Structure 1
């Protein structure tokens, strides 16, 4: 089924949801803890019917070059969508000053597309930065087999930024210190970098093979979700804007969006959205439907055809005061979604079928990262394959 067909299918089933169908208490599966994550094995991360989770241990490994230094370590695990049991796992120790910022940097909400863009098509590479020849940070990828860097070049002054893989490919996009949007196919060792024009600011958001060059001041690139038609974006802190909106007066790479929710900070509220609580975009499920993470719940926001007003807001999960939804991923067929949730200090992996009357079901409590891991950041549900 094509991505477009899945989008239309998801929109169709979600349109049938009612608040009544989503109410009530959570229905949980058996409270049997998932087995500890398996050690790295010969099986690859990618494959059918898997949920991919990743996390970072900040400065969790000894530096390979400094006796008293520490470097980041990233683990990627494939879990069964049936019971959360481990299928495969890879651990990557990054080089000195190497980082995958979305996992190892300041904790923040990120979109489903941005999380997936950390990895190439077959989950053998993860995008990040590390010092290249000359010392400046260079955009590159790290192999999930042995952590070896791939594709790093001598970066210009200021270094590279915003590394991300184009969906379904091994093409790594990034911005140089000279503010040139650049791509390089890491699947072809002989491929030279390609230039795609200048960016007005220090980063961009990739939508397919099209860079989106503006965002609100309070949104990072990995917090911006772009509609399938490439015309409208939603950003952190409940904001929405169009590609055609003019740049902000204080910087060409920023834009003044409309607010989803009450107006404030000089921003107008999108008509019809005044009662929307603060939420962080996860993904557009169609050109007019946005899945948004409200922290303690998931919201489905449906806009008018021209995106000029909000028509409906559907709350997808039962009310719970102690729940924190960490990350969300939609199934390949678009008929279900999964999410990692922290509730009363315990992490659980849940599934919600997008059909009338469906209620969330706990797939399994999960122990990710396992006990003893050094300085782990919050695990991220990367994708449902």
Structure 2
């Protein structure tokens, strides 16, 4: 299978170089309502479990269209205590169905929140899109993790929905429409009308709680961004910006960020970060401490209280040849779980954050991909520690 090894060519400056409808929406039709599919099989959600997901692209024959192939998403829960597999669900998506955070090969080195927002609160739904009427545009929807059936369609006759994500801790699906309306729908109540959340300057946003950040750096995909708990600053890849930053001179939907690391392409390095290794933001421990993924190690980056400078950079793992493709924080914030990939083997580890602690292997994970004929194995995503 394939473990993601690099960012898109110019995506994140230094990281790229080193890591290789409702009435107010213009008369938009009301969404098509569909009953939620019946759940079958074991539940992914449960305390003491680590959740891992993978999308194998074009891995299965379409059940409805001859000679067409569809994506297959596998979601597995492992016991964090002994590494035993406790639940597995397979979702075969409909024709043209996709989930960008899991299935788009250009979405690499994502933040933990970006991956978690692909799923609702209890891991029964997966955010994604399906083709619009006549295979034109995209419609925001959610798929049942148990089987892959779509639950709900977002837009009407001329859709172009983007960035479908779940609000953390809920089953409320957010997305932005082709006419740049931020929209949400509570999929626990499929018959409920969508809520207009206002307009955005572009067709992208980052969701933090129920607050939409409608401006990001040009190079940052929404699912690469990690917003600090205080809600004032975010990091995507190695770029830092504030919620109140003005629009960039070249486009209203972008901001000009600071760089974590050496200055590059006219971007200013955040003071104190000039010698910082190339890394991509993963998650925040608290409002001042960021976990950054530096390909083969994990770094804790500590900022000043106002995020005006970096005060400390410390490795949490020894530098080695293995790839560390993802990490998540325990519910109590005292430990990390992370993936380690080396020589074709993929292992799940736990690291207590106390002084002097060393990583402990929890499990060796199967690396078989459902590639089939013409399929492509997908990146493994470490989504959550419940």
Scaled to the shorter chain, the TM-score interval is 0.7 to 0.9
SS in 2 for 1:234: strand
SS in 2 for 1:229: coil
TM-score (norm 1): 0.86
- Rounded to whole Å, the distance in 2 between the matches of 1:71 and 1:41 is 21
Question: Offset at 1:344?
Answer: 2.2
Question: Offset at 1:137?
Answer: 1.1
Equivalent residues in 2 for 1:1-385 (5 A)?
42-107=41-106, 108-133=108-133, 135=135, 136-155=137-156, 157=158, 159-236=160-237, 238-320=238-320, 322-369=321-368, 374-385=375-386
RMSD: 1.6
Question: Offset at 1:41?
Answer: 7.4
Q: Tell me whether 204-213 or 57-66 shows the greater mean CA deviation.
A: 57-66
Question: Offset at 1:157?
Answer: 3.8
Contact 1:51 1:78 in 2 (8 A): yes
- Rounded to whole Å, the distance in 1 between the matches of 2:122 and 2:109 is 24
Shift of the 371–194 alpha-carbon distance from structure 1 to 2, 3 Å rule, reads closer
SS in 1 for 2:284: strand
Question: Offset at 1:63?
Answer: 1.3
Contact 1:134 1:155 in 2 (8 A): no
Shift of the 157–59 alpha-carbon distance from structure 1 to 2, 3 Å rule, reads same
Contact 2:132 2:158 in 1 (8 A): no
- Rounded to whole Å, the distance in 2 between the matches of 1:318 and 1:212 is 35
SS in 1 for 2:83: coil
- Rounded to whole Å, the distance in 1 between the matches of 2:371 and 2:58 is 14
- Rounded to whole Å, the distance in 2 between the matches of 1:358 and 1:317 is 10
Query: Per-residue CA shift, 1:184-211, capped at 9, x if unaligned?
Result: 0000022100001111111100000000
Query: Per-residue CA shift, 1:246-265, capped at 9, x if unaligned?
Result: 11111111111111111111
**Aligned counterpart, 1:13:** none
Question: Offset at 1:345?
Answer: 2.2
Q: Mind listing any 5+ residue stretches in structure 1 that lack a counterpart?
A: 1-39
**Aligned counterpart, 2:26:** none
Contact 1:205 1:224 in 2 (8 A): yes
Q: Mind listing any 5+ residue stretches in structure 2 that lack a counterpart?
A: 1-38
Corresponding pairs, count: 344
Question: Offset at 1:285?
Answer: 1.4
SS in 2 for 1:326: strand
SS in 1 for 2:350: strand
TM-score (norm 2): 0.86
Query: Per-residue CA shift, 1:16-52, capped at 9, x if unaligned?
Result: xxxxxxxxxxxxxxxxxxxxxxxx9732110111000
SS in 2 for 1:286: coil
Contact 2:59 2:71 in 1 (8 A): yes
